[in-house]
Amino acid sequence: MTEHTPETASSSIALAALESSGAGWWRILDTQTAWWSPQMYALFGLKPEDGLPTIEELYRLYHPDDANLAARSLMKLFNSDAPLSFRYRAVHPSGEVRQHLSWGRREPPDAEGRRWLVGMVMDITHHVDDEALIEGERAFRFVADHTSDMVVRMRVGTGLTYVSPASRAVLGYSPSEMVGKQPSEMVAADDVERIRALLGQRIARRETVSNEGYEYRGIHKDGHQVWLEANPRLVINGAGEMVEIVDVVRDISARKQAEAELHAARIEAEAASRAKSEFLANMSHELRTPLTSILGFSRLIGAGGGLSEGDRGYLDLIRSAGETLLTVVNDILDFSKLEAGALTLDPEPFSVAALGEGATALLREQADGKGLALTCEVAEDARLSGDVTRLRQVLLNLLSNAVKFTATGSVRLTLTTGEADGATVLVASVTDTGCGLDPTQIEQMFDRFTQADGSVSRKFGGTGLGLAISRRLMDIMGGEIGATSDGETGSTFWFRVPLERAETDQIVGVEQATQDLERPLRVLLAEDNPANRTLISALLGSMDVALDMVENGEEAVAAASVEAYDLILMDMQMPVLDGPSAARAIRARGDLTPIVALTANVLPEQIEQCRAAGMQGHVAKPIDPRALMAALSDYARPAQEKAAAA
């Protein structure tokens, strides 16, 4: 393509004037770039030696969002004699974006009949920035003047240079009263240095914007303090110096008041929760302590023989009433733990057959007394791993309900195992020949404090918590529980729960049977209740146990320092020195004698206190003779073994 240059002196003068102003000059002929002045190359970040770009290459020098605008503008120039100007963005090869203003027109045909487009381009980036600054300032003022938050600007060394009208509502000052002041004059003295330190950290990090605001107390015009939240934007110059702060300040007094009220309410709720826990713990302890004697001595008398048939019936009523009261206490405590999310699972290997046989054995006497046939059918004596205590609790609840509400006929427990979704599933069902339930009753019975109808509690007693606790336990284990009934010929209550196959042959017996000790034992009992001392002495009297008894923890520490014991049975709540303190004192001397808590304190946190004090085991009151026997077998060690361990 041949180069075309202006030929007249006036054109040369005009071109020189344009170039001195930084403008570039261009000509286009027949949609082809014909000529660029040297300044045109500079405007697009090119060099003259790069050669003239074609129209297509020129379009690629425009910002992608503006290329179509430039193409349409050139087409208008080709098709009209009217001059045209337009603005666009050019992208230099370096990636820098510049704002250009282009002006052009179509010249009359030359002697050869050709039509030329001529025009010029100016870089107006700085002018556009100025316009944007002015427009931005206008937008800033508009927003600041119409927001409920106080907007301020402050220049270093000058003070506040702008304050929005919201200052009247936030701090009680008019904008004119605040302009020229230092912000620290309206900040509580205790907060000034903290805010300065936070700003200093941001300046050091050259952090102009932060997602974290500052909370501080402002001083209202009338003198009272106002809680404010600020989120300043720092303007930092090229030297890293902060020159201005733009801040949006919000009154958060109402939020702070709400937070204070919420905090107070939380403290009150926590205090109420502690009071509830303490009440439940005390209630449990106070009920379990006399129940220990009621159930313990009734068992001893029943086992002793020599009673008339009528006296044995009276004794059975006493024991049944005591066990019912213990069930109520246990249900309330379990439900409280479930509501608080404090119940945790303790998996261990067990035998499915032992689980079923042990549960039915506990209800056998009650079923026989009503003339009911109580049976247990186990399809497979699988060895599984799970919280056997909680599984037994659910089974006993279903079985005891079935026995309680069945007048004649039978109660049958069926246990099966299967595979589902890669897990072994234990399925238990308890079928009775009672009166049956309708679907509405079945659904309601799994809600807390709910029974089949209002007459149930009057006729049979109970808290209405057993099935609700069973459902929650199944939820925790990942299982499900339900019931079916035709409403006439009985009901079937069932649960299914995923468990793991046991990887050990050491199976835990669900019910520990009483057995003889392998060797004589010397045991120390620390118990302040005389009736309980008599009961425990009677329970251990048939075994080969030499029993020493003391009435408080201080006496226990003294006795353990003189005699060598195979085991120490320690009550928790005693006068002078309590059980945990006594255990810590014994351990502090390096004494490794096993200590088992024998206590009515049965809440999880109370059991943890025992372990934290250095006790190895825990036996709950009322005392189950089998659990006491298991503790003697599991924890007692001869003196020579303790010496070797030390």
Q: Is the pLDDT of residue 340 over 80?
A: no
Q: What angle do CA 181, 186, 192 make, to 5 degrees?
A: 105
Question: Which pLDDT score, from 0 to 100, does residue 140 have?
Answer: 57
Q: Is the pLDDT of residue 504 over 70?
A: no
Q: Which has more confidence, 512 or 170?
A: 170
Question: Which pLDDT score, from 0 to 100, does residue 172 have?
Answer: 94
Question: Which pLDDT score, from 0 to 100, does residue 643 have?
Answer: 44
- Please provide the DSSP assignment of 374-421 as one string: EEEEES---EEEE-HHHHHHHHHHHHHHHHHH--SSEEEEEEEEEEET
Structure tokens that stand for 380 in this block: 């497979």
Query: Radius of gyration (Cα) for the chain, nearest Å?
Result: 45
Residue 297, CA distances (Å) to 29, 548, 572 in order: 120, 20, 22
Least confident of 116-120, 610-614, 638-642: 638-642
What is the pTM assigned to this prediction?
Answer: 0.49
Q: Which has more confidence, 18 or 571?
A: 571
Q: Is the dihedral of CA 233, 235, 241, 242 positive or negative?
A: negative
Task: Check: CB of residue 218 under 8 Å from CB of residue 187.
Answer: yes
Structure tokens that stand for 141 in this block: 């003022």
**β-strands 242-251, 373-378: how paired?**
unpaired
45: left (phi over 0), alpha (psi -120 to 50) or beta: left
> Which percentage of the chain shows pLDDT scores above 70?
85
Q: Is the pLDDT of residue 644 over 50?
A: no
306: left (phi over 0), alpha (psi -120 to 50) or beta: left
Q: Is the pLDDT of residue 434 over 70?
A: yes
d(CA 572, CA 577): 9
As beta bridge partners, residue 35 has 27
Least confident of 82-91, 143-152, 292-301, 410-419: 143-152
- Please provide the DSSP assignment of 138-182 as one string: HHHHHHHHH-SSEEEEEETTTEEEEE-TTHHHHHS--HHHHTTS-
Digit-coded pLDDT (tens) for 593-603: 999 999 888 87
Average pLDDT over residues 130-140: 57
Question: Which pLDDT score, from 0 to 100, does residue 399 have?
Answer: 92
Digit-coded pLDDT (tens) for 516-542: 667 789 999 999 999 889 999 988 887
Residue 570, CA distances (Å) to 123, 395, 563, 565 in order: 93, 31, 16, 13
Kindly report the average pLDDT of the chain as a whole number.
81
Residues in the chain, overall count: 646
Closest by Cα among 205, 29, 36, 21 to 124: 21
Digit-coded pLDDT (tens) for 603-621: 778 888 999 999 999 998 8
**β-strands 567-570, 521-526: how paired?**
parallel
d(CA 522, CA 536): 14
Confidence band of 11 (pLDDT split at 50, 70, 90): very low
Closest by Cα among 408, 409, 381, 412 to 399: 412
Average pLDDT over residues 192-196: 90
d(CA 381, CA 376): 12
Confidence band of 139 (pLDDT split at 50, 70, 90): low
For 232, counting Cβ atoms within 10 Å of its Cβ (0-12 exposed, 13-18 middle, 19+ buried), the class is buried
Q: Which has more confidence, 199 or 217?
A: 217
Question: Which pLDDT score, from 0 to 100, does residue 237 have?
Answer: 67
Give buried/exposed letters for 238-261 (b at 16+ CB in 10 A, else e).
eeeebeebbbbbbbbbeebeeeee
Residue 12, CA distances (Å) to 24, 41, 48 in order: 13, 19, 19
Digit-coded pLDDT (tens) for 212-238: 788 999 999 999 999 999 888 887 766
For 150, counting Cβ atoms within 10 Å of its Cβ (0-12 exposed, 13-18 middle, 19+ buried), the class is buried
Average pLDDT over residues 634-644: 57
Digit-coded pLDDT (tens) for 448-493: 544 444 444 434 444 567 888 888 889 989 999 999 988 778 899 9
Question: Which pLDDT score, from 0 to 100, does residue 435 have?
Answer: 80
d(CA 544, CA 560): 20
Per-residue DSSP letter, 340: T
Question: Which pLDDT score, from 0 to 100, does residue 410 have?
Answer: 93
Question: Which pLDDT score, from 0 to 100, does residue 454 have?
Answer: 45
Q: What angle do CA 398, 402, 406 make, to 5 degrees?
A: 175
Least confident of 52-66, 326-340, 537-551, 589-603: 326-340
Question: Which pLDDT score, from 0 to 100, does residue 279 have?
Answer: 78
Q: Which has more confidence, 375 or 366?
A: 375
- Please provide the DSSP assignment of 502-565 as one string: ---S-PBPSSPPP---SS-EEEEEE---HHHHHHHHHHHHTTTEEEEEESSHHHHHHHHHHS--
Question: Which pLDDT score, from 0 to 100, does residue 460 have?
Answer: 43
d(CA 574, CA 582): 10
